Amino acid sequence: MTTVMRVLVVEDDYLIADDIAQALERAGTVVLGPAPSLAEAARIVEREEVEIAVLDLNVRDELVFPVADELKRLATPLVFFSAYDEVAIPSRFADAARVSKSSGLEKLIGAVFEQHQIAVARHAGAPRIIDLVPELRTFARTLTPSKAEADELVAGALEMALASIDATFSPWQGRPREELMRLVQLCHDQRNRVGP
């Protein structure tokens, strides 16, 4: 992957497309497009290295899924950004992020960076956080004999992790296992602190 994230924007409303492009550029990305049609989006996908895509669901009265299918085939992370809550996204896109246009551009930018970080971690072979939960539960149970308390430690650690990721857009530089174990230990220590 390149050092500057290359983001394809597929949006047929000029003003919204321009707002998205400006917000992404301010966040330090290179914007490909915005593509106002599925045909233009397909041309960009064919010619350019797309690292992540922001896709409106309905582009000129066509659903964006043919372009999304090609991007998925290329293992490109997707963020669906749409005002259409009633449009069902097929299950084949279950790993894509979905952001409502009413949520605003800040949430969209957060989803773009999060999806990019997930893709980078997968590319680097780092485990997904969800895959670490059983290991975290086992570790937490070495700290307390109660299964319920152990699960509360894991839940607390995951809440800390989410707060950290939200604040920094960083999955701890590819060390999620070690960092999550540290957070479980920290939760345990905080709950069992003696004195003031």
Quick one: CA dihedral 116, 58, 30, 43, positive or negative? positive
Q: Please, are residues 18 and 12 in contact by the beta-carbon 8 Å criterion?
A: no
Read off the pLDDT band of 2 (50, 70, 90).
very low
* pLDDT tens profile 89-146: 898 998 899 999 999 999 999 999 989 888 877 766 656 666 778 888 888 888 888 9
Question: For 173, which DSSP code?
Answer: G
Report pLDDT for 176.
66
Output the furthest CA–CA distance in the chain (Å, rounded).
66
Is residue 1 very low, low, confident or very high in pLDDT (cuts 50, 70, 90)? very low
d(CA 46, CA 93): 20
Q: What is the mean pLDDT of the chain?
A: 85
Nearest Cα neighbor of 111 from 68, 143, 79 is 79
Q: CA geometry: angle at 49 spanning 80 and 126, to 5°? A: 70
Q: Is the whole-model pTM more than 0.85?
A: no
Band (pLDDT 50/70/90 cuts) for residue 66 is very high
Stretch (H or E) spanning 22: helix 14-26
The pLDDT, as a whole number, for residue 33 is 95
All structural domains of the chain: 6-124 (3.40.50.2300), 129-191 (no CATH)
